[in-house]
Amino acid sequence: MEARIRARVNLALTFFALLFFVAGSSPPRQFVISNAERRIDLSSHIINVHLTLKVENAGTRPASEVVLALTPTEVDHLAMVDASAIKGKRKKTTSLRLEVKPTELPDAPPIDTKYFTIYLANPLNSGESTTLEVLYVFTHFLEPFPAEIAQSESQLVFYHDTALILSSYHIKQQTTFIKTPSTKVESFIRMEPTNRVGTEIKYGPYEDRPPYSISPIHVHFENNSPFAVVEELVQEIEISHWGNIQVTEHYKLIHAGARHKGVFSRVDYQSRQSSNGASSFRYLLARLPPRVHSVYYRDEIGNISSSHLRTDSLKSELQIEPRYPLFGGWKATFVIGYGLPLQDFLFESSDDKRYLNFTFGCPLIGMVVDKLTIKVVLPEGSTDPSPVVPFPVEHHLEL
């Protein structure tokens, strides 16, 4: 869950994050990757890539900076990157989160590769090896093809990648698994050994590939998961003296998949639901904090009656339905508002300061947020506010 929130947040902040380059790097050739396994999950429009690397220090000196390489297109669509080191064996594994920072390498290789550096907690001595787990999250990465579909067609998308993992290190053995949402795969480029079983395509294992070797592939497959994108989200958090936090969220939602073409027939949509409007979506689920009250869901022209709220002691779930089903390219704007008890979120410290501890991000599940603005309205009489966010954000104070 936390990773997902961070995913959304990072997406909005990628561009800021990229500004913080860290100068200085270790020689890239120091490591050798003895085994690499990549699992690409294409089941929704948010792509999760799990990369497991077994890194071995082949150099002579201890080193602590492992460099990851990404293509420029990947970097453009990268929402977040997260790395952790795996310790222990078999069932007793523990993972330790590691710092990852974008880097620029002076001796750039042929293609415009972008780099991220993982800072290991303890330097790796010569000859030692460790296992790293890296998670990349990409958004807006699947390209609908055909770009326009009729109501009865399902949505086909292209996924472009390389069968060989782009790396600045020598990889001794690597395998890539691509998981598609269904067995309907129109086409994919083979690179032997390639094997397709059910919803999974396996590339590899490939042995002993030199650094920077790539082999472009694409997968053309059916993906009818909701391509729900919030183009802009403005979240207002208003803190009241009277023990209440009022949250108002203004959404601009769009279906970012293949554009709807031609007619929208209600009779087909109602009577043949399995084969009609497969890529459209109707329901959205928002996970709100527990003890939420006064929830409303409306737009510019009034209340939208199709929403349900389920509350329990741990969480509240708000299921909302836009006024009409969203087909490709269709938009909807709406506002969700709710009140929260102040004591759940506001803490007082001994130095006479108060802290508001609030989750950063969008409560809607499975959603990509392109632009996120959070406004915190402080009660009258507040002085010297300062935000604490675990990643760089642009912020300013309005009076």
Partner 1 sequence: MATMPASASDLLKSFKLKTKQQELLIRVSILCLVYILAFITRLFSVLRYESMIHEFDPYFNYRTTLYLTENGFYDFWNWFDYESWYPLGRIVGGTLYPGLMVTAVLIYRILRFLRFAVHIREVCVLTAPFFASNTTLVAYFFGKEIWDSGAGLVAAILIAVCPGYISRSVAGSYDNEGVAIFALLFTFYVFVKAVNTGSLAWSLASAFGYFYMVSAWGGYVFIINLIPLYVLVLLITGRYSMRLYVAYNCMYILGMLLAMQIRFVGFQHVQSGEHMAAMGVFFLMQVFYFLDWVKHMLSDTKLFQAFLRITVTSAVAVGGIALGLGMVSGYISPWTGRFYSLLDPTYAKDHIPIIASVSEHQPTAWSSFMFDFHILLFLFPAGLYFCFKRLSDATIFIVMYGLTSMYFAGVMVRLILVATPAVCLISAIAVSTTVKNLTVLLRSKNKVVQTGSTKGSGGSKSSSKALLDQSQPFQKNGAIALLFGAFYLLSRYATHCTWVTSEAYSSPSIVLAARGAHGNRVIFDDYREAYFWLRQNTPQDAKVMSWWDYGYQITAMGNRTVIVDNNTWNNTHIATVGRAMSSYEDEAIEIIRSLDVDYVLVVFGGVTGYSSDDINKFLWMVRIGGGVFPVIKEPDYLVNGEYRVDKGAAPKMLNCLMYKLCYYRFGEMMTEYGKPPGYDRARGVEIGNKDVKLEHLEEAFTTSNWIVRIYRVKPANNRW
Cβ atoms 376, 393 nearer than 8 A: no
Cβ atoms 278, 155 nearer than 8 A: yes
Q: Which is nearer to partner 1, 213 or 333 (CB)?
A: 333
Q: Which of 52, 323, 294 is nearest to 174 (CA)?
A: 52
| Radius of gyration for the alpha carbons in the chain, expressed in angstroms and rounded | 24
Q: Distance (Å, rounded) from C-alpha 75 to C-alpha 141?
A: 11
Does 267 participate in binding partner 1 (rule CB under 8 A)? yes
Min CB(235)–partner 1 separation in Å: 18
Q: Are strands 346-348 and 244-255 parallel, antiparallel or unpaired?
A: unpaired
Q: Which is nearer to partner 1, 217 or 318 (CB)?
A: 318
Does 299 participate in binding partner 1 (rule CB under 8 A)? yes
Pick the stretch among 82-90, 198-206, 219-227, 293-301 that binds partner 1 (CB under 8 A).
293-301
Does 323 participate in binding partner 1 (rule CB under 8 A)? yes
Cβ atoms 254, 260 nearer than 8 A: no
Residue 384: CA atoms inside 13 Å, Cβ hemisphere, count? 3
Q: Distance (Å, rounded) from C-alpha 134 to C-alpha 124?
A: 18
Pick the stretch among 12-20, 52-60, 329-337, 347-355 that binds partner 1 (CB under 8 A).
329-337
| Of the candidate residues 15, 21, 283, 324, the single one contacting partner 1 (CB under 8 A) | 324
Does 333 participate in binding partner 1 (rule CB under 8 A)? yes
Residue 246: CA atoms inside 13 Å, Cβ hemisphere, count? 11
Does 263 participate in binding partner 1 (rule CB under 8 A)? yes
Min CB(329)–partner 1 separation in Å: 8
Does 314 participate in binding partner 1 (rule CB under 8 A)? no
Q: Which is nearer to partner 1, 306 or 343 (CB)?
A: 306
Cβ atoms 160, 169 nearer than 8 A: no
Structure tokens at 221: 């497959």
Pick the stretch among 39-47, 62-70, 138-146, 262-270 that binds partner 1 (CB under 8 A).
262-270
Min CB(46)–partner 1 separation in Å: 24
Does 332 participate in binding partner 1 (rule CB under 8 A)? yes
Q: Which is nearer to partner 1, 215 or 303 (CB)?
A: 303
DSSP state of 364: B
| Of the candidate residues 1, 19, 23, 301, the single one contacting partner 1 (CB under 8 A) | 301
Min CB(302)–partner 1 separation in Å: 5
| Of the candidate residues 9, 40, 171, 304, the single one contacting partner 1 (CB under 8 A) | 304
Does 330 participate in binding partner 1 (rule CB under 8 A)? yes
| Of the candidate residues 60, 94, 271, 349, the single one contacting partner 1 (CB under 8 A) | 271
Cβ atoms 247, 340 nearer than 8 A: yes
CA angle 307, 311, 317 (to 5 degrees): 50
Sign of CA pseudo-dihedral 217, 223, 225, 226: positive
Q: Which residues of 75-89 are buried (b: 16+ CB within 10 A; e: fewer)?
A: bebbbbbbbbbbeee
Min CB(226)–partner 1 separation in Å: 17
Min CB(273)–partner 1 separation in Å: 13
Other CB atoms closer than 10 Å to residue 141's CB: what's the count? 22
Q: Distance (Å, rounded) from C-alpha 237 to C-alpha 382?
A: 15
Q: Which of 166, 146, 178 is nearest to 42 (CA)?
A: 178
User: Where do we find the tokens 């003890």?
Assistant: 291
Does 240 participate in binding partner 1 (rule CB under 8 A)? no
Does 264 participate in binding partner 1 (rule CB under 8 A)? yes
Does 266 participate in binding partner 1 (rule CB under 8 A)? yes
Q: Which is nearer to partner 1, 310 or 331 (CB)?
A: 331
Min CB(139)–partner 1 separation in Å: 23
Does 274 participate in binding partner 1 (rule CB under 8 A)? no
| Of the candidate residues 109, 123, 216, 262, the single one contacting partner 1 (CB under 8 A) | 262
Query: Where do contacts with partner 1 occur on this chain (CB under 8 A)?
Result: 262-267, 271, 299-306, 323-324, 329-333
